[in-house]
Structure 1
Amino acid sequence: MTKAVKNRILYQLNFLKSIGFEYHCNVDFGNNELSNSTLPNNLDELENIVKNCYLCDLCKSRKNILFSKGSKNAQIMFILDEPTASEDETGEFYIGKSGEILVKMIQNVLELEVNDIYITNIVKCKSSEGFYPTHANSCNAYLSKQIEILNPMLIVTFGEKAYKYLVNDNSSFEQVRGNILPFKYYNLLPTFSPSILLRNPSLKKDAYYDMLKIKSILEIT
Structure 2
Amino acid sequence: MIEVSQLNAGELAALLHFHADAGVEFLLEDEGIDRFAEFAASAAIRVPAQTAAPQERAQRPSERQSAAAAKPAPRPVSATAVAIPGEEAIEMARRAAEAATNLAELKQAIDSFEGCNLRASARNSVFPSEAGALPILVFGATPSAEDDREGIPFSSAHGELLAKMFGAIGIDVAQTTLAHTVPWRPPGGRPPTPAEAEICRPFAMRLIALAKPRFVVMLGNFTTRFFTGSTEAIHALRGQWFEIGTPPTQAVAMLHPQDLMTAPLSKRLAWADLLAFEQRMKQANA
Q: Same fold (TM over 0.5)?
A: yes
Change (3 A) 1:97 1:75: same
Number of residue pairs aligned between Structure 1 and Structure 2: 200
Unaligned 5+ residue runs, structure 1?
Answer: 10-27
Asked whether 1:55 is paired with 2:115, we answer yes
- Asked if 1:158 is matched to 2:219, the reply is yes
Q: What stretches of structure 2 of length at least 5 have no aligned partner?
A: 1-77
- Residue 147 of structure 2 corresponds to residue 87 of structure 1: yes
Match of 2:210 among 149, 155, 158: 149
Distance 2:109 2:218 in 1: 24
Q: Cα gap change, 1:212/1:52 in structure 2, threshold over 3 Å: closer, same or farther?
A: same
CA contact (8 A) 1:159 1:191 kept: yes
User: Partners in 2 of 1:70 and 1:190 — Cα distance?
Assistant: 23
Deviation at residue 72 of structure 1 after TM alignment: 4.6
Residues 109-188 of structure 1 mapped to structure 2, 5 A cutoff: 109-129=168-188, 130-132=190-192, 133-184=194-245, 185-188=248-251
The reply to whether residue 219 of structure 1 matches residue 279 of structure 2 is no
Shift of 1:8: 4.9
Aligned partner of 1:188: which letter?
A
- Kept in 1: contact 2:127–2:151 (CA 8 A): no
- Residue identity in the other structure for 1:86: E
SS at match of 1:203: helix
One-letter amino acid matched to 1:186: T
1:3 aligns with 2:64: no
Task: Give the helix-richer structure, 1 or 2.
Answer: 2
Per-residue CA distance 1:94-149 (angstroms, 9 max, x = gap): 32221211011122x23122232111101101112412222222211111100111
Higher RCO (CA < 8 A, seq sep 6+)? 1
Deviations 1:68-107 (CA, angstroms, capped at 9, x unpaired): 2763553111111100111112222332221211011122
**Aligned partner letter, 1:3:** A
- CA offsets, 1:134-166, max 9 Å, x none? 222221111110011122211111001110012
Q: CA deviation at 1:7?
A: 4.7
Kindly indicate whether the alpha-carbon contact (under 8 Å) linking 2:86 and 2:195 is maintained by their aligned counterparts in 1.
Answer: no
Larger Rg: 2
Taking the aligned partners of 2:210 and 2:133, their CA distance within structure 1 comes to 10
Aligned partners of 1:71, 1:145: CA distance in 2, in Å?
Answer: 13
Question: What TM-score, normalized to structure 2?
Answer: 0.64
Report if aligned partners of 2:225, 2:231 keep a CA contact under 8 Å in 1: yes
- Cα distance in 2 for residues equivalent to 1:141 and 1:176: 23
Q: Supply the distance in 2 between the matched residues of 1:177 and 1:99 (Cα, whole angstroms).
A: 19
Which residue of 54, 71, 86 maps to 2:131? 71
Is it true that 1:98 corresponds to 2:158 in the alignment?
A: yes
Specify the alignment match of 1:32 in structure 2: 89
Residues 94 and 174 (structure 1), Cα distance of their counterparts in 2 relative to 1, 3 Å cut: closer
Taking only the aligned residue pairs, the percentage that are identical comes to: 19
Cα distance between partner residues in 2 of 1:65 and 1:45: 13
CA contact (8 A) 1:70 1:115 kept: no
Q: 1:22: which partner in 2?
A: none
